[in-house]
Amino acid sequence: MANLVYKRVSTDQQSTDRQNLVLHEAGIEDPVVFEEEAGTSSRLHPLERPKFGDLLTYARPGDTVHISEMFRLVRGTGHILDVLDVLHRDRLALRIHDGAFSGMDLTARHPRTGELLSTVKFMVQTLAAAGELQRDLQRELTYDGLRAAEAKGNRGGRRPALAGETVTDVRTAYLEGQSIAALAREQGVSRGAIRTAVADLLPEHVTDEAVPPPELLVTLDVPGKVADFLRTAELDDAERAALDQGQAVRRGTGYTLRVTTVPAVHRQLLDRCQVLDGAGAIPAQRKARREYENRVNALVAGNPR
């Protein structure tokens, strides 16, 4: 029986040092390590990540998957339940060595139905929702902080590499014929910083190019199973706002979410739920995603339904 270790960091500025420490203290014997490339986003569904896919291909029934904490592998209840279904299908155990999920047997199933125990499912959904709430609160606080800074005349984000009189000198030198590469060496900055400073002076800069007209708002019904999945996914502000402002419409025992936004956001939401067409999704989810896809594709033909 093999011990399969999975590691991931969200940005190339992060390291796996903390994960390595937790996993080392766990005393895992003869680990086989699968580590995603640095910067593999948590927005990408685990079943679509290259190294986790390699892990599942390598694994054999009875093997154990080890992770330092749950959110190295999944984000949101949809991801968690999808992964647990695949691990159950392949008869793999899961061990989480740190965080809220450590010490829990997340693969426990009912002996007769084979379904995930209701108590386990409840704990998974509750803890995942708490983690998602924490991330949403952090995002809201960051947004409020940026607005407060802008009100004081400050701008968020990275400071420009060139500023003030230096920008003027660079622009003058560029107009006099000095190359971008030479200016970058002279100022000790990247060529991109120089290109930013002289962007409107570059030959490819066009000042009178046509500006595309803004997209008009359209209303589409998002099937409830798709909407439930999207609420657990990591979305940008426009996508999240569109869902939050949607109107639930009851359809028998289920519902649809009537979402009004621009076509581009509908296409983005459709991209977010592509995983519902994968092996880990249940038939009802696949059918719901395809219904939404048909409605989004109808926008291209100019006939939204």
Tokens at 26, concatenated: 């766990």
Handedness of CA 203, 204, 207, 209 (dihedral sign): positive
pLDDT at position 129? 66
The 3-state DSSP class for residue 209 equals: coil
CA–CA–CA angle 198, 200, 201 (5° rounding): 65
DSSP state of 210: P
pLDDT at position 305? 46
Q: Domain coordinates of the chain in residue numbers?
A: 3-130, 165-201, 218-299
One digit per residue, the tens of pLDDT, for the chain of length 305 reads: 899 999 998 776 678 888 999 999 989 999 999 999 887 877 788 888 999 999 999 999 989 999 998 878 876 666 777 888 888 888 888 888 887 667 666 666 667 776 766 766 676 667 666 656 666 666 677 666 667 666 766 655 556 667 777 888 888 888 888 888 888 888 888 887 888 888 877 765 544 445 556 667 888 999 999 988 888 888 888 888 888 888 888 877 788 899 888 888 888 898 888 888 777 778 888 898 899 999 888 875 554 44
Residues 6+ apart with CB under 8 A from 95: 26, 64, 65, 66, 67
Residue that has been written with the tokens 């289920």 in this structure: 254
User: pTM score, two decimals?
Assistant: 0.45
Whole-number Å distance between alpha carbons of 167 and 199: 11
CATH architecture, domain defined by 3-130: 3-Layer(aba) Sandwich (3.40)
Residue that has been written with the tokens 């979410």 in this structure: 257
Torsion of CA 255, 259, 263, 268, to 10 degrees: -70
